[in-house]
A and B are shown apart, each in its own frame.
Chain A
Amino acid sequence: MAILSAEHSDQLYWLGRYSERVYTTIKLFAQQFDDMLDLKTEEYETFCEKQDIPNIYASKEDFVRRYCFDEADPNSIFSNLIRAYDNAVVLREEIGSETLCYIQLAVYDMNKAKNSEAPILHLQKVMDNIVAFWGMVDDSIDSECVRSLIKFGKRLERIDLYVRMRIDRREIKREMKRLNLRIGRTGLKYNTTKLAHLNYLVEVTPMDYELILQEIESLLDQEEKLAAGF
Chain B
Amino acid sequence: MNTEELCKYSDSVNELLARYGVKFGIYKNNTFKEQLFPFDMIPRVIHQKEFDYLERGLKQRVTALNAFIKDIYGDKKIIKDGVVPEEFVYSGSGYLAQCEGVMPPKGIYSHIAGIDLVQGKDGSWYVLEDNLRIPSGASYPMIARDLCRKGLPSAFEKYHIEDNRNYAKMLRRTMDNVNTGGHTVILSPGRYNAAYFEHSYLAEQTGAHLVTGNELVVENDWLYFIDYSGKKERVGAVYRRISDEYLDPMNFNEESVIGIPHIYDIYRKGNVALLNAPGNGVADDKGIYYFVPRMVTYYLGEEPILQNAPTYLPYYEADMQYVLEHFDSLVLKDVAEAGGYGVVFGSKMTKEEKEQFIALLKKEPRRFIAQEVIDFRDIDIYEDGKIVPRKADLRAFVLMADEPLVWKSGLTRFSRNPDSFIVNSSQGGGFKDTWVMAE
CB pair A7–B215 under 8 Å, yes or no, is yes
User: Closest residue to B208 on the A side, CB-wise?
Assistant: A93
CB pair A5–B191 under 8 Å, yes or no, is no
- Asked if A76 CB lies within 8 Å of chain B CBs, one says no
CB pair A3–B225 under 8 Å, yes or no, is yes
Task: Looking at the assembled complex, report how far the CB atom of B47 sits from the nearest CB atom of chain A, in whole angstroms.
Answer: 32
Chain B residues 133-184 with CB under 8 Å of chain A are 183
Q: Cβ of B19: which chain A residues have Cβ within 8 Å of it?
A: 101, 104-105, 108
Q: Cβ of B21: which chain A residues have Cβ within 8 Å of it?
A: 89, 97, 100-101, 104
CB pair B215–A93 under 8 Å, yes or no, is no
- Asked if A9 CB lies within 8 Å of chain B CBs, one says yes
User: Which of B190, B196, B210, B233 has most A Cβ within 10 Å?
Assistant: B210
* Chain A binding surface SS class: helix
CB pair A187–B203 under 8 Å, yes or no, is no
Q: Cβ of A108: which chain B residues have Cβ within 8 Å of it?
A: 18-19
CB pair B230–A3 under 8 Å, yes or no, is no
Chain B residues 298-331 with CB under 8 Å of chain A are none
- Asked if A36 CB lies within 8 Å of chain B CBs, one says no
Q: Cβ of A96: which chain B residues have Cβ within 8 Å of it?
A: 204
CB pair A92–B204 under 8 Å, yes or no, is yes
Task: Looking at the assembled complex, report how far the CB atom of B130 sits from the nearest CB atom of chain A, in whole angstroms.
Answer: 29
CB pair A90–B191 under 8 Å, yes or no, is yes
Interface flags, A1-20, vs B, CB<8A=1, else 0: 10111111100000000000
CB pair A93–B200 under 8 Å, yes or no, is yes
Q: Cβ of A8: which chain B residues have Cβ within 8 Å of it?
A: 228
Q: A5-B215, A227-B228 are in contact. Are A101 and B209 (CB under 8 A)?
A: no
- Asked if A228 CB lies within 8 Å of chain B CBs, one says yes
Q: Cβ of B212: which chain A residues have Cβ within 8 Å of it?
A: 7
Cα separation A7 to B233 with both chains bound (whole Å): 15
Q: A6-B228, A97-B20 are in contact. Are A90 and B200 (CB under 8 A)?
A: yes
- Asked if B83 CB lies within 8 Å of chain A CBs, one says no
Chain A residues 173-219 with CB under 8 Å of chain B are 187-188
Chain A residues 55-77 with CB under 8 Å of chain B are none
Interface flags, A96-134, vs B, CB<8A=1, else 0: 110011001100100000000000000000000000000
- Asked if B201 CB lies within 8 Å of chain A CBs, one says yes
Chain B residues 64-96 with CB under 8 Å of chain A are none
Which of A1, A6, A89 is close to B226, meaning CB atoms less than 8 Å apart?
A: A6
CB pair B228–A4 under 8 Å, yes or no, is yes
CB pair B204–A93 under 8 Å, yes or no, is yes
CB pair A3–B233 under 8 Å, yes or no, is yes
CB pair B228–A187 under 8 Å, yes or no, is yes
- Asked if B419 CB lies within 8 Å of chain A CBs, one says no
- Asked if B229 CB lies within 8 Å of chain A CBs, one says yes
User: Closest residue to A7 on the B side, CB-wise?
Assistant: B215
CB pair A93–B203 under 8 Å, yes or no, is yes
Cα separation A31 to B214 with both chains bound (whole Å): 44
Which of A1, A93, A97, A227 is close to B230, meaning CB atoms less than 8 Å apart?
A: A227
Cα separation A9 to B230 with both chains bound (whole Å): 12
Interface flags, B209-234, vs A, CB<8A=1, else 0: 11110110000000001111110010
Chain B residues 237-267 with CB under 8 Å of chain A are none
User: Closest residue to A95 on the B side, CB-wise?
Assistant: B204
Cα separation A228 to B229 with both chains bound (whole Å): 8
Task: Looking at the assembled complex, report how far the CB atom of B20 sits from the nearest CB atom of chain A, in whole angstroms.
Answer: 5
CB pair A3–B227 under 8 Å, yes or no, is yes
CB pair A5–B226 under 8 Å, yes or no, is yes
CB pair B183–A3 under 8 Å, yes or no, is yes
The 3 closest A-B pairs by CB, nearest first: A92-B200, A9-B228, A93-B203
